[in-house]
Structure 1
Amino acid sequence: MITRRNLITSGAMIGAAAVARSALAALPEPAYPGGAGTEPPPLPPSGRPFHPVVTLNGWSAPWRMNDGWKEFHLVAEPVERELAPGMTARLWGYNGQTPGPTIEAVEGDRLRIFVTNRLAEHTTVHWHGILLPSGMDGVGGLTQPQIPPGKTFVYEFTVGKSGTFMYHPHADEMVQMAMGMMGFLVVHPRDPAQRRVDRDFVFLVNAFDIEPGAAVPKVATMTEFNMWCWNSRVFPGIDHLAVRRGDRVRIRMGNLTMTNHPIHLHGYSFTVTGTDGGWVPASAQWPEVTVDLPVGAMRAIEFVAYAPGDWAFHCHKAHHTMNAMGHNVPTMIGVDQSTAARKMTSLIPGYMAMGQAGMADMAEMQMPLPHNTLPMMTGTGPFGPIEMGGMFSVVKVRDGLARGDYRDPGWYRHPPGTVAREWTGS
């Protein structure tokens, strides 16, 4: 498997053509391991300046300038991805991870992207939302030959407008995207001061159907997914979004699942400022606390972080904030299971009846689980079980963060008298 370190020599596979030989030189190391708790990566010494994004649980791709071209290298390959502590999936991705590294460019950049295929089948890359020559669009059989296993193809195009985009295969698409092959592509304005924000987060919404004890997704699943992910991670494995009070914050999201997602932020209203079609003019932007993220689409939202606290940020489809769900499970609310439980315990030691009063006890009971799976509801906060999973994270707004220090600040310390409490009549 390609790691970030040995990626710098992976260009040795490229053939004799002069343009392909240019990829033999060492690509720069990824600037940082990614995540909301760190600063964005420092800019390389060449290329147009921009304000980098922060990829949740990810990183931005390195590049080099070569005779006016900004060159990147993607390696399509099998990868392993920890969905959350306690569960690792065997997936496909790019450069050792799913999603692949975020590609960042600037309006007017001439991009040259080498794609090496280390899968067992052919692939392509489609640059979703980018306007480019038809032959660079990445639809196998229609606009280009498929990239065979072991071969490297090169894509060359100029990015003409800033915005929020993504990349994914258009070859055996059902399988390859179901296995995790996707990545983010951000094009920044030519003027770094235009649309400037203090924190610019990005993540892709994806989903897997992985049975308890297994590690490879069922790629033929159409609706009954059990791992609802942001950047191939589920709660509590998704990075928190740490921001300083007063920061202007942008969150860019793309949806490559089989359904829409109403993404909801607590504590704030925000404006919808972008789609994969481009930036929304100021006169047409609209306020929301929940934005619907359609299938195959991108959305960018913005707000000013004026209210300190730990604010939940999640999909509002309740079954998308749960892990390892079962299907066709009967509702047992109000059912006396005591007699049946005694009989079952004599046959299956350790058997536990659940659901008579609801399912909240799932988050507190230390039940033995099958190998390589996660509890349906999990996570612990300052007041006990959070009872979430899947597409859930926390926007942590804080006073007093040193400029440039966006490490996770821990849980919020509420001022006295500002926490809901039991009423005792006084």
Structure 2
Amino acid sequence: MMNRRQLLGASAGGAALVSTAAWAKTSNMGLPEAALMDGPSTQAPKAPDTGVPYNPVVTLNGWTLPFRMNNGVKEFHLVAEPVERELAEGMTAYLWGYNGQSIGPTIEAIEGDRVRIYVTNKLPEHTSVHWHGLILPSGMDGVGGLSHPGIPPGKTFVYEFDLVKSGTFMYHPHADEMVQMAMGMMGFFIVHPKDPSFMPVDRDFLIMLNAFDIDPGSYVPKVMTMTDFNLWTWNSRIFPDIDPLVVSKNDRVRVRVGNLTMTNHPIHMHGYDFEVTCTDGGWVRPEARWPEVSIDIPVGAMRAYEFDAVHLGDWAIHCHKSHHTMNAMGHDVPTFIGADKSALTHKIRLVQPEYMPMGTNGMAEMAEMAMPIPDNTVPMMAGWGPHGPLEMGGMFSVVKVREGISAGDYSDPGWYENPPGTEAWEWTGALPEHAKAESPDTQLNPANSIVSDRG
């Protein structure tokens, strides 16, 4: 269960006296409480109780940062600090993040709001926060050494600006960026439209694509890795421990996907086609939207898509790069398909009787066997469904569309039971003769009269 310590209410009389400059130093007496999260499950959204109404977003395996009102300004408190994040059951990573977690909490506000964000640095080196995609004064942009000095360890700086446009944005350091982002420092910044009738949806999900290189048995990411990551994550979680996207039939659903890894990710959702309605540059006009079943998310970008949940079922959603739906992958493992390992197995079992040869017929058996693995790591393929092992990992989850899910209910409804006649079944009868390509143009080797089967 998650444990979020809510912000204390504050009246205008308790307001902090701060400069609007990003490098303004503050006293801890005037700071909003730094809300924390120490659990990995999805926090149900909390609808606003004041101001313009909006439908709050749902950060998978994450949460939204509370705020306090101070003379008409929304005040938030981010704490950059070392954190321990459970990537999956049985595996914890020692990361850097915000307010007890990686990814950091989602910031939600409304177009036209003025926000004041206190950033306290509890890291061993200086940091900054760049507000990715937001339009704001140059001195608030968060590029250390360019926009303002880096925030030293133990100090608190203030960022203050007006939210001049709605959309989906991100935040991350722009100081020692390679190290700090590789350690998990990133989060979402959602600005809702000031007009509640503009682009309304019933369910609004957030997925941040990030990645780590952590050797089995170790805890700290290798920050110098450029491309060969072995853990591909959503919101710093890996399947089978990424929560499902729970939806009620006929809901209008938005999925916002941001990418702060070092490669692109083609996100594919089964069972539906959808419309791309937003990028981190802004909303896509109706006449410019396009239909997809997969949307490629470039590095440093965000794409949002929407669909009407009319098809009941359990529908996979995942990155379509196959190795991104695997866990703890070893890049030096040879391919054994077709190899005869019987003699080798006999010799190894003389010294290691429990040795199991694997890989000669493919890798599916790895998902079925509970093999011993090193401490603090996870199997390469994992997860069980109603019909057996799912053989997935990494960037994978399930969109669960059901009848009668109450608004605000995101609890897992369990596995979908396919109605009779709608599930593939084994055929035991006679098979029709399969068609063959008779044309010489389709023959692989006409001289030997070998033709290609269409099956």
Is TM > 0.5 for Structure 1 vs Structure 2? Answer: yes
| Cα 1:96–1:28 shift into 2, 3 Å | closer
| Cα 1:57–1:23 shift into 2, 3 Å | farther
Gaps of 5+ in 1: 10-15
The letter for the 2-side match of 1:236 is P
Q: Do the aligned partners of 1:46 and 1:64 also contact (CA within 8 Å) in 2?
A: no
- Alpha-carbon distance in structure 2 between the residues aligned to 1:138 and 1:26: 21
Superposition pairs of residues 26-425 of structure 1, within 5 angstroms: 26-27=32-33, 39-43=44-48, 45-425=49-429
The letter for the 1-side match of 2:5 is R
- What is the Cα deviation at residue 345 of structure 1? 1.4
- Alpha-carbon distance in structure 2 between the residues aligned to 1:42 and 1:353: 54
Which whole-Å deviations, capped at 9, do the CAs of 1:218-248 have from their partners, x for residues lacking one?
A: 0000011011000000001101000000000
- Alpha-carbon distance in structure 1 between the residues aligned to 2:406 and 2:50: 28
- What is the Cα deviation at residue 205 of structure 1? 0.3
Residue aligned with 1:132, SS: coil
More displaced 10-residue stretch of structure 1: 16-25 or 372-381: 16-25
The letter for the 2-side match of 1:105 is A
Which whole-Å deviations, capped at 9, do the CAs of 1:118-175 have from their partners, x for residues lacking one?
A: 0000000000000100000000001100000000000011010100100000000000
- Alpha-carbon distance in structure 2 between the residues aligned to 1:32 and 1:67: 31
Which whole-Å deviations, capped at 9, do the CAs of 1:308-352 have from their partners, x for residues lacking one?
A: 000000000000000000112111101110110110111233222
- What is the Cα deviation at residue 192 of structure 1? 1.5
- What is the Cα deviation at residue 39 of structure 1? 4.1
| Cα 1:30–1:108 shift into 2, 3 Å | farther
Residue aligned with 2:83, SS: strand
| Cα 1:401–1:392 shift into 2, 3 Å | same
More displaced 10-residue stretch of structure 1: 189-198 or 26-35: 26-35
Residue aligned with 1:193, SS: coil
- What is the Cα deviation at residue 286 of structure 1? 0.2
The letter for the 1-side match of 2:69 is M
Q: Do the aligned partners of 2:61 and 2:243 also contact (CA within 8 Å) in 1?
A: yes
Percent same amino acid among aligned pairs?
Answer: 67
| Cα 1:175–1:334 shift into 2, 3 Å | same
Q: Do the aligned partners of 1:85 and 1:237 also contact (CA within 8 Å) in 2?
A: yes
Residue aligned with 1:422, SS: coil
Q: Do the aligned partners of 2:38 and 2:101 also contact (CA within 8 Å) in 1?
A: no
- Alpha-carbon distance in structure 1 between the residues aligned to 2:304 and 2:181: 22
- What is the Cα deviation at residue 29 of structure 1? 5.6
Question: What residue is the counterpart of 1:12 in the other structure?
Answer: none
- Alpha-carbon distance in structure 1 between the residues aligned to 2:358 and 2:73: 60
The letter for the 2-side match of 1:420 is A
- Alpha-carbon distance in structure 2 between the residues aligned to 1:98 and 1:144: 25
Q: Over aligned residue pairs, what C-alpha RMSD do you find?
A: 2.1
Q: Do the aligned partners of 2:6 and 2:66 also contact (CA within 8 Å) in 1?
A: no
The letter for the 1-side match of 2:47 is P
Q: Do the aligned partners of 1:34 and 1:54 also contact (CA within 8 Å) in 2?
A: no
- Alpha-carbon distance in structure 2 between the residues aligned to 1:144 and 1:203: 30
- Alpha-carbon distance in structure 2 between the residues aligned to 1:6 and 1:121: 28
Count of aligned pairs between the two proteins:
416
- Alpha-carbon distance in structure 2 between the residues aligned to 1:213 and 1:7: 37
- Alpha-carbon distance in structure 2 between the residues aligned to 1:328 and 1:415: 44
The letter for the 1-side match of 2:223 is V
- What is the Cα deviation at residue 399 of structure 1? 1.2
Q: Do the aligned partners of 2:6 and 2:35 also contact (CA within 8 Å) in 1?
A: no
- Alpha-carbon distance in structure 2 between the residues aligned to 1:126 and 1:381: 40
The letter for the 2-side match of 1:376 is M
- Alpha-carbon distance in structure 2 between the residues aligned to 1:46 and 1:22: 26
Question: What residue is the counterpart of 1:5 in the other structure?
Answer: 5
- Alpha-carbon distance in structure 2 between the residues aligned to 1:298 and 1:406: 23
- What is the Cα deviation at residue 400 of structure 1? 2.5
- What is the Cα deviation at residue 21 of structure 1? 4.7
- What is the Cα deviation at residue 33 of structure 1? 7.3
Residue aligned with 1:177, SS: helix
Q: Do the aligned partners of 1:223 and 1:258 also contact (CA within 8 Å) in 2?
A: yes
Gaps of 5+ in 2: 10-15, 20-25, 431-455
Q: Do the aligned partners of 1:378 and 1:386 also contact (CA within 8 Å) in 2?
A: yes
- Alpha-carbon distance in structure 2 between the residues aligned to 1:391 and 1:241: 13
Question: What residue is the counterpart of 2:30 in the other structure?
Answer: 24
- What is the Cα deviation at residue 395 of structure 1? 0.1
Q: Do the aligned partners of 2:34 and 2:77 also contact (CA within 8 Å) in 1?
A: no
